[in-house]
Amino acid sequence: LFLSPSAVAVKQRAMSQKKIFLVIIAISTVSLLLHHGGHFSWPMEAFHLGCPSLRSHPATGLKPKSTNVAFLKTHKTASTTMQNLLFRFAERNNLTVALPVQACSHQFCYPRVFTSHFVHPHTMPPNIITSHMRFNKAELQRLMPNDTIYVTILREPGSMFESLFSYYNQYCQSFKRVPNGSLEAFLEEPWRYYRPDEKDSMYARNTLTFDLGGDKDRPATDVAYARAFVAEVDRVFSLVMIAEYFDESLVLLRHLLSWDLDDILYVKLNMRTLSSKRSLSPGLPSKIRAWNSLDARLYDHFNASLWRQLSALGPACVAREVRLLRRAQDRLMKSCFGEQMPLLRSASQIKNKDLRPWQPIGKVDIVGYDLPVNLSHGFSSQSQELCLKLIMPEVQYTRVLLRSQSLNYRRNYQLRSPQQPRTLQQPIRTVLPRHQGEIKNCWILNLAIHFDQD
Ligand SMILES: *[C@@H]1O[C@H](CO)[C@@H](O)[C@H](O)[C@H]1NC(C)=O
Ligand SMILES: *[C@@H]1O[C@H](CO)[C@@H](O)[C@H](O)[C@H]1NC(C)=O
Ligand SMILES: *[C@@H]1O[C@H](CO)[C@@H](O)[C@H](O)[C@H]1NC(C)=O
Ligand SMILES: *[C@@H]1O[C@H](CO)[C@@H](O)[C@H](O)[C@H]1NC(C)=O
Ligand SMILES: *[C@@H]1O[C@H](CO)[C@@H](O)[C@H](O)[C@H]1NC(C)=O
């Protein structure tokens, strides 16, 4: 075949253009892979395929993720861990998290009943809401998008009450009056120490019922109230998680919201040291249940309903997802902290006061992690930020989110109204330090975590 010189030149040019095109394709493929398959994405191991959808919808895996979630954060129930997970999900997906106004501190002015006045205007309209509040359905429904999914979490009343009693021992007057801080003495004659209308009395009786907006002091004999209250909670909340079966609850949550495994990874937050926990002597659990009868009823109902949902999903399927979750979690911990896991320290040993978890007065000892000093080597700042956020205590994370959302809000506001006054343009320092030296300091700061699930 003969080609004229000009034809050869044309063909060569076409070939080199093709080469360039292929190189570009290759580069973008690699960068796409690097971008998405980086440090913290795990092979899904056909995660979507094994388990049938909880809802009748045929293709859970292809359904878009639900992004509008109201999580009622209850007290002493592993809810801080859930909040951290939701904060991270929101940041990854550019969602807005409703946060409290400064006057409310990091909670929505708990124990007052929630109203939208407690929500910071820079965090509206929200996709997610998760900070402590006393539940108010009507007000939340006005605030949140109409396809919002409601979720909460409960804990077994015996261990929960023991935890409340020890955690709030010096704050709640009903507990403070008890001689020798004895749980037995309190349960022997609760009405001797308990005052229903006193400050912090919600920690001393039916705390879950109170958080859910109910009447903690309804007598146990008012069975109709208890039944109606449980039915109402059942109607409003699509999922009631159970702290004792946290990973199983997360599997249900993942299916409910069509989320990925990556979306439910967590590190346990907010724990006491072993020495400040105690096991209950025989007879105490039933006294606790009698004193907190509304909570006990809620717990029994929703524990049963959780197990019905798990069995509908299939025990083998649930077990498999739990296994995958724990394996992914192990890998994540190793990527973040290497072989040397962070050392647990009690709060009193943590030097930096600003980052120390809230430490109740008395015998309770809250633990935090002492992070290895030289972990920052070999981390991209992106993965570093994830590791940091995974273990960031509630108050600090709330502050970081509020700053970054305010910044976004102001940017958008400026785009909409270019002639606004200068005062709104002040830069706010929000993000975690990016500079390598500063990042190292972050790790040295003994980032304290407090864990509230026991
Ligand atoms: C979030 O917003 C950033 C910046 O506007 C954008 O680059 C990114 O793609 C967005 N991510 C998602 C998941 O929407
Ligand atoms: C939710 O609100 C949108 C717009 O406000 C409306 O179009 C839609 O029908 C509503 N959906 C439901 C289920 O109420
Ligand atoms: C409190 O504890 C002390 C020492 O353990 C004991 O002697 C005392 O009787 C206790 N008081 C009550 C009211 O239980
Ligand atoms: C929760 O329900 C399951 C299934 O009925 C039961 O086996 C388990 O003991 C219950 N857990 C608690 C803490 O009551
Ligand atoms: C830093 O890391 C190396 C291993 O990567 C370890 O041998 C060394 O002891 C660490 N140094 C400190 C101060 O922790």
pLDDT in tens, the chain (454 residues): 444 555 555 555 555 555 544 444 444 433 333 333 334 444 444 344 456 544 434 444 568 999 999 999 999 888 889 999 999 999 999 999 999 999 998 899 999 999 999 999 999 999 999 999 999 999 999 999 999 999 999 999 999 999 999 888 888 999 999 998 899 999 999 999 999 999 899 999 999 999 999 999 999 999 999 999 999 999 999 999 999 999 999 999 999 999 999 999 998 765 555 556 677 888 999 999 999 999 999 999 999 999 999 999 999 999 999 999 999 988 888 887 776 555 566 666 655 444 455 555 555 556 655 554 444 444 556 677 787 788 777 888 899 899 999 999 988 887 776 554 444 333 333 333 333 333 332 232 223 233 333 3
Pocket of ligand 4 (CB under 6 A): 156, 244, 303-304, 307
Strand partners, 119: 100
Taken in order 153, 157, 159, 160, the sign of the CA dihedral is positive
CB distance 412 to ligand 1 below 6 Å: no
Q: Order of strands, edge to edge, in the sheet holding 239-242? A: 97-98, 128-129, 69-72, 149-154, 239-242
- The number of CA neighbours under 13 Å toward the Cβ of 277 is 14
Which amino acid residue places its CA nearest to atom 1 of ligand 1? 94
Whose alpha carbon is nearest atom 4 of ligand 3? 180
The per-residue pLDDT for 97 is 98
By most ligand atoms within 8 Å of CB, the mutation choice from 155, 303, 309 for ligand 4 is 303
Q: Is 279 in the pocket of ligand 1 (CB under 6 A)?
A: no
Nearest-CA residue for ligand 3 atom 12 is 179
Residue 420 CB contacts under 8 Å (≥ 6 apart), including other chains: 413, 414
Cβ–ligand 1 contact at 348 (below 6 Å): no
pLDDT given at position 50: 53
Q: Is the pTM of this model over 0.85?
A: no
Check residue 325 and give its pLDDT: 95
Q: Report the CATH number of the 67-408+430-448 domain.
A: 3.40.50.300
pLDDT value at position 147? 97
Looking at residue 385, its pLDDT comes to 76
R_g over Cα of the chain: 26
Residues in the ligand 5 pocket, defined by CB under 6 Å: 372-374
Residue 373 CA to ligand 5 center (angstroms) comes to 8
Of all protein residues, the one whose alpha carbon is nearest to atom 1 of ligand 5 is: 374
Q: Using the atom order of ligand 4, give the atom closest to the CA of residue 300.
A: 14
Q: Which ligand is nearest to the CA of 243?
A: 4
Q: Put residue 378 in one of left, alpha, beta given phi > 0 → left and psi -120 to 50 → alpha.
A: left
Measure 39 CA to ligand 1 centroid, in angstroms: 19
In this structure, the residue with its CA closest to atom 3 of ligand 1 is: 94
Q: Residue 1: what pLDDT?
A: 47
Q: What is the pLDDT of residue 347?
A: 64
Identity at 293, one-letter amino acid code: S
**Ligand 1 center from residue 44 Cα (angstroms):** 23
Q: Which atom of ligand 1 is nearest to the CA of 92?
A: 13
